[in-house]
RNA sequence: GCGGGAGUAGCUCAGUGGUAGAGCAUCACGUUGCCAACGUGAAGGUCGCGGGUUCGAAUCUCGUCUCCCGCUCCA
């Protein structure tokens, strides 16, 4: 049998819509860029992946506790975290080379040039204008005027074809309170990462949750980034969901814990049902580390768009707790009774994009198979995360078969997400469920209800299309057995 | 953000100035005795949106939005 894997992202985008997994946001109004809605099957799939992660974190570790922090946070949080300063730079593009520059740096470069040419007066004058930029029409407008008036050219291309000056802060800003004037003083941000909610609650959890270092805080929630380039389906979205765990450790043990969590997280992806050869870890070189990290690695999946990050593991050191200590004035330290020692814990962060995980799961499960000269599209999802677990069909529309099928549907509903279907031929119903990733289909046939003894039915398996005949009373057990022994192909 | 390409039914697409189309999917009825059968029928589109040209625009034109590819950026 020839099997084809996913070749391009369009295939998944189409299937995701056709089978009610993922739609573009506000589609009837033309769509909203890089924002997506989850449909009926997508919601189930996403929730199952979320639960799978939550269980792996909190239920399987007695030293990891949950948290659900708000999206709105005190504006100071983002000053302390470095998000306000780090991403407020005025930028300008050279239209000829399409290179982007910091507008203020261009002007400073020009000032340096003037000085080297013994034009100190001009340099001083320009420096003063630069220092007061923002006081006339606004920062962007003033900087643009300086660049235009002084005919500052692009350093590399030498061109003088500039775009407007724009500020790229990736945080969404809104106002707080009914009497807001809209000034920056009232500004609050939609959180650009969930991690800070954990750091600012570190003291609360320490004081009330009876945890000792090392311990972790896990959280799932929405985050928002006003990406300049947001593309490639749900891979890079402006509104997305993160699943994060911050693990607080004693300084000195951080390198070891970092390695441990990197391995643990890779194992989780395998347990989720992702094929091993499609996963790899990718350590960040030291010169590319973020401002807070001592070491960092991505867990990458080979999407149709190439190897891309699904999850990041970072050693954030004591950067965040120290920053919040400094900005809030509240001590964020830990006192170890046994060792009689006080310290600011180091933090190992595991941070996975839930939407990226959904996309990974869909891509990894997708197959096109040749069956008797026909093409079968199938999602070979791990049964544990499949949106629908069991399809239940009467072979044809006859009372005797329909009645038993409905009875089984009713019985299994307590344990599994089930679906009853009697429309179309039996083969068509199987294929429909193949595309939705339903791992098991139960068919009620005449052989099963007309023979002596207990009624039997067939279970048809999605992955290899084989069937077993099973007594009705053993269905639950048979499904659970198969679900637990499932392995990716 | 820049350059290029594209937007017509749920999906894939045809239609280059004159009545809005096909295949698949969906729904109904009949049929169907295990892998996308068949028959009949139905539903679904102010052709992304807004201006303009024209007797007449899906088609020409301008603007705008969205998506794709490349560049750029990326906590």
Spatial contact of A316 and A295, defined as CB atoms under 8 Å apart: no
Quote the pLDDT of residue A430.
Answer: 94
Spatial contact of A14 and A377, defined as CB atoms under 8 Å apart: no
Spatial contact of A21 and A15, defined as CB atoms under 8 Å apart: yes
Q: How far apart are CA A458 and CA A90, in angstroms?
A: 66
B68 C1' to A12 CA distance, Å: 14
A173 touches strand B (CB under 7 A): no
B14 C1' to A232 CA distance, Å: 28
Quote the pLDDT of residue A181.
Answer: 54
Q: Which nucleotides of B are covered by protein (CB under 7 A)?
A: 1-3, 7, 10-12, 25-28, 31-38, 48-49, 65-73, 75
Provide residues 291-350 of A with CB closer than 7 Å to any strand B atom.
305, 312
Residue A327 burial by CB count (10 A; 0-12/13-18/19+): exposed, middle or buried?
Answer: middle
**What phi and psi values does residue A335 have, to the nearest 5 degrees?**
-110, 115
Provide residues 349-378 of A with CB closer than 7 Å to any strand B atom.
371-372, 374-377
Quote the pLDDT of residue A205.
Answer: 95
Distance of alpha carbon A247 from the chain centroid: 19
A374 contacts: CB under 8 Å, gap ≥ 6: none
**CA-derived radius of gyration, chain A:** 29
- Find which nucleotide's C1' atom is closest to A450's CA: B33
Spatial contact of A318 and A251, defined as CB atoms under 8 Å apart: yes
Spatial contact of A103 and A117, defined as CB atoms under 8 Å apart: no
A443: closest CA among A415, A416, A411, A475? A475
Provide residues 37-76 of A with CB closer than 7 Å to any strand B atom.
none
Spatial contact of A301 and A273, defined as CB atoms under 8 Å apart: no
Helices (H), A312-462: 319-328, 354-365, 399-412, 426-436, 446-450
Within 10 Å of residue A301's Cβ, how many Cβ atoms? 24
Whether A326 has a binding-site annotation, put simply, is: no
Quote the pLDDT of residue A343.
Answer: 96
- Find which nucleotide's C1' atom is closest to A81's CA: B75
Whether A242 has a binding-site annotation, put simply, is: yes
- Find which nucleotide's C1' atom is closest to A314's CA: B75
A178 contacts: CB under 8 Å, gap ≥ 6: none
A450 touches strand B (CB under 7 A): yes
Spatial contact of A386 and A438, defined as CB atoms under 8 Å apart: yes
- Find which nucleotide's C1' atom is closest to A193's CA: B75
Q: Residues, chain A, total?
A: 489
Which residues of chain A are modeled with pLDDT < 50? 182
Cα-Cα-Cα-Cα torsion A350, A193, A275, A298, nearest 10 degrees, comes to -60
Residue A381 burial by CB count (10 A; 0-12/13-18/19+): exposed, middle or buried?
Answer: buried
Which ipTM did the prediction report?
0.83
Buried b (16+ CB within 10 A) or exposed e, A227-250: eeebebbbbbbbbbbbbbbbbbbb
CA angle A208, A212, A213 (to 5 degrees): 125
User: With the C-alpha atoms ordered A190, A192, A196, A197, is the resulting torsion angle positive or negative?
Assistant: positive
């Amino acid at each position: 049998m020839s099997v084809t894997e996913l070749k391009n992202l369009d295939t998944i985008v189409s299937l995701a819509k056709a089978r009610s997994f993922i739609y573009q946001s506000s589609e009837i109004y033309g769509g909203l860029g890089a924002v997506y809605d989850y449909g009926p099957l997508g919601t189930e799939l996403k929730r199952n992946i979320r639960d799978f992660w939550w269980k792996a974190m909190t239920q399987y570790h007695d030293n990891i506790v949950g948290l659900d922090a708000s999206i709105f946070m005190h504006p100071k949080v983002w000053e302390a975290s470095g998000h306000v300063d780090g991403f407020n730079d005025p930028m300008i593009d050279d239209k000829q080379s399409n290179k982007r520059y910091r507008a203020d740096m261009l002007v400073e470069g020009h000032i340096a040039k003037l000085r080297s040419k013994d034009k100190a007066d001009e340099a001083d004058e320009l420096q003063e204008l630069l220092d007061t930029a923002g006081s006339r029409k606004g920062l962007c407008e003033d900087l643009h005027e300086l660049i235009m008036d002084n005919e500052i050219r692009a350093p590399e291309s030498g061109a003088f074809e500039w775009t407007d000056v724009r500020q790229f802060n990736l945080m969404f800003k809104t106002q707080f309170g009914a009497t807001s004037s809209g000034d920056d003083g009232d500004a609050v941000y939609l959180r650009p990462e969930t991690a800070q909610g954990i750091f600012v609650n570190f003291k609360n959890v320490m004081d009330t949750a009876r945890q000792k270092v090392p311990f972790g805080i896990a959280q799932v929630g929405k985050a928002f980034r006003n990406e300049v380039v947001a593309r490639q389906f749900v891979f890079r979205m402006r509104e997305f969901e993160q699943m994060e765990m911050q693990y607080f450790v004693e300084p000195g043990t951080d390198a070891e814990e970092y390695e441990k969590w990197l391995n643990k997280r890779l194992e989780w992806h395998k347990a989720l049902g992702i094929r091993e050869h499609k996963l790899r870890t990718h350590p960040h070189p030291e010169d590319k580390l973020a401002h807070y990290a001592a070491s960092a690695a991505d867990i990458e999946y080979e999407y149709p768009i190439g190897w891309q990050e699904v999850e990041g593991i970072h050693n954030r050191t004591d950067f965040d707790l120290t920053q919040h200590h400094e900005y809030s004035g509240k001590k964020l330290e830990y006192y170890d009774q046994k060792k009689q020692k006080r310290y600011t814990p180091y933090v190992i962060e595991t941070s996975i994009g839930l939407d990226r995980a959904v996309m990974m799961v869909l891509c990894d499960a997708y197959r096109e198979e040749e069956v008797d000269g026909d093409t079968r599209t199938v999602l070979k999802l791990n049964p544990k995360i499949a949106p629908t677990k069991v399809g239940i069909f009467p072979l044809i529309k006859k009372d005797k078969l329909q009645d038993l099928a409905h009875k089984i549907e009713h019985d299994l509903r307590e344990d599994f997400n089930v679906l009853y279907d009697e429309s179309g031929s039996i083969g068509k119903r199987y294929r429909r469920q193949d595309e939705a990733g339903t791992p098991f289909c139960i068919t009620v046939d005449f052989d099963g209800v007309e023979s002596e003894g207990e009624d039997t039915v067939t279970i048809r398996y999605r992955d290899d299309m084989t069937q077993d005949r099973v007594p009705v009373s053993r269905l639950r057990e048979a499904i659970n057995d198969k679900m637990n022994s499932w392995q990716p192909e």
